Amino acid sequence: MRAFTIVAIASLALATEACAGGAIHGLDTDQWFELLASGGPLPIASGDDIDFDALSRLGPGATLFLAMHAAEGPDEALVRAMLREAIGREKGRYRKRAVELLSENLLSSGDGPGLVSLCRSEAGAELTPYRRAFLEASGLAASGSYAEALAAVESLRASFPAEAAKDAAELAATAFASGYRAGRGRWANEFSSLVAMDGSPKVYESLSIAVAAIESSGRDDMVQAIRAVGPRAFLIAEARSLYGARQFGAAIAAFRRYSSDLETPETIAARISDGVFSSPEPLTPDSASDLFLNLPRAAASDAAKSFMAASRDEGEAGFLHSIRTVRNRSADPSGDYFDAFWYGRFLRAGERWPDAERWFKTAAGYAADSFERDAAGWYAVEAAWKRSGKETIAALGEALAASRNPGYYSDLIEPISREALVARDGAALAALDAAVRQKASARDAARLAYLCARAAQVGIISDAHILAAFGSGFAGAADYAEARLRYAYGQRADEWYRLAAAYRLGEPLVEPLAPEPPETAAVGGPASGKPAAAPPSPSGDAGEVSPDGYATALARFGLGARIRKELGPEFSAVSEGTVRLAAAALGEAGRHDQAYRLIATQFWKSGFVPTRLDAELYWPRPYRESFSEAARSTGLDESLLYGLARSESAFDPGAVSKSGAIGLTQLMPATAAEMAGRLRIKEYDLADPDDNVAIGSAYFARVLGAVDGRVLPAVFSYNGGPTRFRRWEAEYGKLPLDLLLEALSYAETRQYGRNVASAALQYAALYGERDLRDYFAYLIGEGPRPD
């Protein structure tokens, strides 16, 4: 592996012409590429006398790629200077990307004049026509050239209707703010169109911009603006923007003010100017009903969600009143669905499951499309499950049969099956398998096949259960278990269940690796002995760079981690060899997490058969001395330790979780402090691989010892906590460990167990010489630790 990666680094560096003419800003060529590979800061800054001629000797695209590196730091002036230089120096794809990045930088920083200048320059032609027009309009608005901005928006809507429709909220906000400030155009209509749009982050942001534009005016101008857009439209915009900001109480107050119909432009302006935001009285059921009935549908949905979050009884009473009262829905037939669905949502929030189920079923009957039917159907099945499990399975089967999107029901199939497993209800498990296996998503079907097969093997599912669920389709529980294991082994949607089924069936636990392919001339590498030069275009124009060539150039300049994002849809056209080379370069530079994530994109491809090099990039062994010493000092299995660290942090020593866990083995500071005390380590840094692995391995060894050396329980304890695992084990009884995994109440811990065990087996397969069946038996608690 190391020989390959050394050649990979050399190949990438040699892909450019040798730099003649001495050092470049104090570094020779090798030092530059070593610096870029490590991700270290550039030895230049804004204000320096930058020798761009010398930098260009690093190769095509140098100024663009160095600008990308600069963007990782705080020197915005340097980023812009380098991007502008790249626009002048680079050609083809590199120049185009420099223009795109500079335009994004100018837009995000609010540099309107700079953005307009770029769009109107010759370089602006590198942008797509629509993007160029959109950015120019945005730049004009940011520059205060409101009349020009308004005209630009109107022009691009006329010239690019399809593209403009995708940016409808942003364009409406720009047109409103520009028209309002310029005193021109149909700005009041733009405001109205925003108010009526379906909710999304862009819509809520645009509503906030529009409301803020009016609120920032003087009181007299504010009064005139609110009168022009209509006080009720303004109140809706105010309420929806507050909902989008998750200020549910304030949103409810705004919806109440809308309902009262008492506020005038003058009172609204006075309230905003004086900063008086007292909340009106709660709505009566009749008033709340009228609110939901009279609001535009998108606003009514936001109102319902606001009341659900902050004033549930008030909102529920409104929908109940609507349902009990004869309403004229002739102008809006979908109103029946809306009322029934949202009344069901409020009943669900109050855990009144029988009534909630009934109203969700009623809503499903009114559904106008498959999306509405699935939304109501999902809640109906959930309510049936919460009410009584007996009828749930049939309801779920019916919902799946009618759905065009089986994956919509995944988060019901899993808990329903888990509950049946915990209860050892073999009849329910077999019935569930029979009801959903034909329409469930591929991953749900794989999990259910393995779970039910194992339940049949351990006696939870009996011959009688099989007969009741499947009739004469199987000869009995043993025949059923064999068939379902064969299904789990044959699928490719979930590798854990394929692996576990292979173990049960006596099939190979790992796939044979592909032979190492000869590297192509385009990619280069150790097999060919040729440098990894960017492939030439058919025309031979050096400015035209293929996806492979662009990916290779990114890797050469230490930006391999950006390949997928930079190329977008074109990434699928990048060859396996190029991805392999870039990942190897990242790994050799010590950026193991980035190398793993890049090569993982190949493992996700259907039909991909990895070589050993691919496998070693996907299951790497960085920090060898740290892990070997930890395994020696604790007695832990090294493959297991690597599997744990890979699952925890992907080998990023600087990883910090949302809960505050740090480093390779994701230690909580308090846990680390306790273990460091036990180990008599006075000073340590959890971001340091040596310290983290030493403390983390010691902690895992302690956890493993506390559960009598059982690997999966130790893994569950490490992730979910020892106390929680003891509670799980007491609650779920003596299930085999592979089924105990499926019974755990924490989805994160369930997946963590699968990840660690799978990775440990792969490490053993790649780097060890032990019997893999014996090793997997050890991992899942069905055999001793192999020698």
DSSP one-letter string for 776-787: HHHHTTSSPPP-
Q: 10 Å Cβ neighbour count for 706?
A: 15
Task: Tell me the C-alpha distance between 120 and 99, whole Å.
Answer: 12
- DSSP state at residue 442: H
For residue 614, is pLDDT > 70? Answer: yes
Measured CA to CA, the distance from residue 16 to residue 471 in angstroms comes to 69
- What was the pLDDT predicted at 65? 98
Residue 356 has which token pair? 């909630």
Whether pLDDT at 85 is above 70: yes
Give the tokens for residue 194.
């925003």
CB atoms within 10 A of CB 87: 23
User: For position 325, what pLDDT does the model report?
Assistant: 85
Q: What is the mean pLDDT of the chain?
A: 92
Cα–Cα distances in angstroms (integers) from residue 20 to residues 53, 65, 557, 571, in the given order: 12, 20, 18, 34
Region 186-204 average pLDDT: 96
Mean pLDDT over residues 92-111, rounded?
97
Q: Are 56 and 90 in contact (CB under 8 A)?
A: no
- Position 327 confidence tier, pLDDT thresholds 50, 70, 90: low
pLDDT at 175 over 50: yes
**pLDDT interval class at 706 (50, 70, 90):** very high
Judge whether 357 and 380 are in contact, CB under 8 Å.
yes
pLDDT band with cut points at 50, 70 and 90 for residue 202: very high
CB 599 within 8 A of CB 616: no
Do 577 and 547 meet the contact criterion of CB atoms below 8 Å apart?
no
Q: Is the pLDDT of residue 189 over 70?
A: yes
Residue 514 bridge partners (DSSP): 611
For residues 208 and 245, the answer to whether their CB atoms sit within 8 Å is yes
Span 580-591, pLDDT tens digits: 999 999 999 999
What is the percent of the chain where pLDDT is above 70?
A: 93
Task: Please provide residue 349's backbone torsions phi and psi, each rounded to the nearest 5 degrees.
Answer: -60, -30
> Does 526 have pLDDT greater than 90?
no
CA dist 574 and 687 (Å) reads 34
pLDDT-based confidence at residue 769 (cuts at 50, 70, 90): confident
**Rounded average pLDDT over 109-113:** 96
Q: Show the domains of the chain with their CATH numbers.
A: 128-324 (no CATH), 625-779 (1.10.530.10)
Rounded Cα distance, 126 and 91, in Å: 11
Mean pLDDT for 503-526 is 74
Please give the helix or strand (H or E) that residue 773 lies within, else none: helix 772-779
Q: Measured on CA atoms in the order 81, 87, 91, 96, is the torsion positive or negative?
A: positive
C-alpha–C-alpha distance, residues 534 and 536, integer Å: 6
Q: What is the pLDDT of residues 330-386, one digit of tens each?
A: 556 678 999 999 999 999 999 999 999 999 999 999 999 999 999 999 999 999 999
pLDDT (tens digit per residue) in 265-275: 999 999 999 88
Neighbours of 607 (CB within 10 A): 5
The model's confidence at residue 279, banded by pLDDT at 50, 70 and 90, is confident
3-state secondary structure of 142: helix
Q: What percent of the chain has pLDDT above 90?
A: 86
Q: Which residues contact 133 (CB under 8 A, 6 or more apart)?
A: 119, 152, 155, 156, 159, 160
Segment 153-157 shows an average pLDDT of: 96
pLDDT of residue 333: 60
- Alpha-carbon gap, residue 195 to 204, rounded angstroms: 9
Q: What's the per-residue H, E or C state across 388-407? A: CHHHHHHHHHHHHHHCCCHH
Q: Provide the pLDDT for residue 389.
A: 72
Distance CA 596, CA 618 (A): 5
Q: What is the pLDDT of residues 736-763, one digit of tens each?
A: 999 999 999 999 999 999 999 999 999 9
With a cut of 60, say whether residue 108 has pLDDT above it: yes
Looking at residue 529, the DSSP 8-state letter turns out to be T
List Cα–Cα distances, 724 to 423, 615, 672, 717, 730, in angstroms.
19, 35, 19, 7, 10
Q: Is the pLDDT of residue 634 over 60?
A: yes
Q: What is the mean pLDDT of residues 194-221?
A: 95
**The pLDDT of residue 544:** 81
Look up the pTM and report it: 0.88
- Mean predicted confidence (pLDDT) in 406-417: 93
Q: Please say whether the beta carbons of 136 and 152 come within 8 A.
A: yes
Q: Give the pLDDT of residue 539.
A: 38
The Cα–Cα gap between 210 and 191 comes to: 7
Q: Is the pLDDT of residue 6 over 70?
A: no
pLDDT at 531: 34
- pLDDT bin (cut points 50, 70, 90) of residue 519 is low
- Per-residue pLDDT band for 537 (boundaries 50, 70, 90) equals very low
Q: In the prediction, which pLDDT does 543 show? A: 58
| pLDDT greater than 60 at residue 538 | no
pLDDT for residue 328: 53
Which residue do the tokens 């749930």 mark?
A: 392
